[in-house]
C-alpha cells in the first residue's frame, strides 16, 4: 500500500490549507486550539461556511449533494481541519443520519433532510441508549404506538450527546413485542420542539454539560418520519453504528495531542532538563507514536475497503477499539507530563473569557478535564467489550 500523496492529492491538501487559512473564523480557531468550550453557534456557523464554499457534505457522494471525495481526500480534509483548529462537523447528521437516509430513506426524506443537514440548518442528536439498554441495545423499551397517520412515543433516552443543542433526534423505538427483540424496533425522526419532549442535563466528571436525558411523554410523530420499514429499524441501527465506529477513529485529534506532547518533551523543565531525557517518558512517547502510525494505516486500509464495498463492515469495530484505547493512552501520558499540576482541574479555563494561557506547560488547567472526559471513549459508540465480540464472531468466525 502506497501511503504517499499523489501530486493531485498534494494540490488538494494545499487547497484545504488555503481555505482554512482564509475562511476559518479566528475566534473559533482560538477556542479549539486552546481547549475552550464550544457553543451551538460555533458548530452551525462553521457548517454554513463550509456549505457556502461547496464543502458542506464532505462525507457524502455527489448524487446526494456531497463533495464526492475519496477516502484519501476525506482523510486530508479531516487532518488539516483538526490541525487548523476547526470544530468537528456535527457527526450525528453528517456521519450517522445522512448515510442511513441515503440507504433507507424515502425520496421525500432525502430531499427534505439532507440539504438541511448540509446547509447547517438542523442540528441532530442520537436517541439510542436507555437507562436499562446500553450495550444490550435490543432491549430498549421506548414505545411508539401507531394511531392513524402518527406514532405516539413514550419513553426515555440517556447519554444523549448535545441534545441541548439539537433541533431533531433520530430514535430507535419499539413498535412491536413479537418475535426476537431486534424484530420489533423502528427508526423514527422526531422534532425536539414537539410537545412532550423534554431534556435534562447530565453533568460529567469534568463538570461539563455534554450529555443529557431525553424524555418522551405522548409525543406525536408523523408516520412519514419513519425511516425504512416498520419493525425493521435494527437494520438501520447496525448500518449507522458501523459508520459511527469508523467516524470515531480520532486520528487527527491524536496527532494534535501528540504534537503537544512533543513540544512539552523538548521544553526545559524547572531542573534545567527537558522531559525527553526521562527515559521512561521517552519510551512511552515512542510507543504512542508507533501505535498512532499503525492505527492511521489501518484506518486508511478500512476506508479503501469502504470505497469498494460502499459501507463499513465489522472491521469498523477494530478502528473503534484502537482509537479509544490509544486516545486514552495519549491523555494519560499528558497527565504524566503535567506532573502534580495535572491534579488541579480548572473548569473556568474552558471559558473563552478566561485569561490564563494553556500553551506549553500551562496546558495543565485543562488536561485533567481531558483525562476525565476521555474515560468515556471505551464505552460509548458500543463498549469495547461488545466490539471484541463482534470481531470474534464476524471477523474471526469464532
| Catalytic center residues | 244
How far CA 78 is from CA of 18, 68, 152, 212, 375, in Å, comes to 14, 15, 40, 27, 23
Alpha-carbon distance of 121 to 52, in angstroms, equals 13
The three-state secondary structure class of 154 is: strand
* Phi-psi domain of 272 (left: phi exceeds 0; alpha: psi -120 through 50; beta: other): left
Alpha-carbon distance of 43 to 228, in angstroms, equals 29
Strands 150-157 and 209-222 come out as antiparallel
The three-state secondary structure class of 66 is: coil
Q: What's the half-sphere exposure (Cβ side, CA atoms, 13 Å) at 71?
A: 20
Strands 197-203 and 185-191 come out as unpaired
In the numeric block, which cell numbers belong to residue 324? 479509544
In the numeric block, which cell numbers belong to residue 122? 438542523
Amino acid at each position: 500500500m502506497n501511503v504517499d500523496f499523489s501530486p493531485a492529492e498534494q494540490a488538494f491538501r494545499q487547497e484545504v490549507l488555503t481555505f482554512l487559512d482564509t475562511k476559518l473564523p479566528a475566534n473559533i480557531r482560538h477556542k479549539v486550539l486552546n481547549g475552550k468550550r464550544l457553543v451551538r453557534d460555533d458548530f452551525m456557523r462553521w457548517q454554513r461556511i463550509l456549505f457556502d464554499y461547496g464543502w458542506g457534505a464532505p462525507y457524502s457522494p455527489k448524487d446526494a449533494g456531497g463533495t464526492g471525495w475519496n477516502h484519501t481526500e476525506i482523510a486530508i480534509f479531516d487532518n488539516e481541519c483538526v490541525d487548523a483548529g476547526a470544530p468537528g462537523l456535527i457527526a450525528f447528521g453528517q456521519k450517522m443520519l445522512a448515510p442511513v437516509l441515503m440507504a433507507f430513506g424515502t425520496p421525500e426524506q432525502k430531499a427534505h433532510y439532507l440539504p438541511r443537514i448540509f446547509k447547517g440548518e438542523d442540528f441532530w442528536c442520537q436517541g439510542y441508549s436507555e437507562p436499562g439498554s446500553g450495550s444490550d441495545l435490543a432491549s430498549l423499551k421506548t414505545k411508539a404506538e401507531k394511531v392513524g397517520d402518527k406514532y405516539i412515543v413514550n419513553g426515555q433516552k440517556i447519554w444523549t450527546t448535545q441534545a441541548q443543542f439539537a433541533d431533531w433526534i433520530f430514535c430507535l423505538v419499539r413498535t412491536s413485542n413479537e418475535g426476537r427483540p431486534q424484530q420489533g424496533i423502528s427508526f423514527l425522526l422526531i422534532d425536539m420542539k414537539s410537545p412532550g419532549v423534554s431534556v435534562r442535563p447530565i453533568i460529567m466528571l469534568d463538570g461539563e454539560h455534554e450529555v443529557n436525558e431525553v424524555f418522551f411523554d405522548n409525543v406525536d410523530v408523523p408516520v412519514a418520519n419513519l425511516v425504512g420499514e416498520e419493525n425493521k429499524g435494527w437494520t438501520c441501527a447496525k448500518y449507522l453504528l458501523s459508520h459511527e465506529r469508523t467516524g470515531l477513529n480520532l486520528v487527527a485529534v491524536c496527532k494534535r495531542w501528540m504534537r503537544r506532547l512533543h513540544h512539552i518533551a523538548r521544553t526545559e523543565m524547572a531542573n534545567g532538563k527537558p522531559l525527553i531525557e526521562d527515559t521512561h517518558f521517552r519510551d512511552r512517547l515512542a510507543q504512542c507514536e508507533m501505535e498512532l502510525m499503525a492505527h492511521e494505516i489501518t484506518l486508511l486500509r478500512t476506508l479503501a475497503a469502504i470505497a469498494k464495498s460502499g459501507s463499513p463492515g465489522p472491521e469498523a469495530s477494530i478502528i473503534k477499539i484502537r482509537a479509544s484505547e490509544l486516545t486514552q493512552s495519549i491523555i494519560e501520558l499528558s497527565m504524566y507530563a503535567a506532573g502534580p499540576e495535572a491534579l488541579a482541574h480548572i473548569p473556568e479555563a474552558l471559558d473563552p473569557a478566561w485569561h490564563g494561557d494553556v500553551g506549553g506547560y500551562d496546558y495543565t488547567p485543562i488536561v485533567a478535564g481531558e483525562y476525565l472526559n476521555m474515560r468515556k471513549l471505551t464505552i460509548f459508540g458500543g463498549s469495547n467489550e461488545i466490539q471484541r465480540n463482534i470481531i470474534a464472531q464476524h471477523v474471526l468466525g469464532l
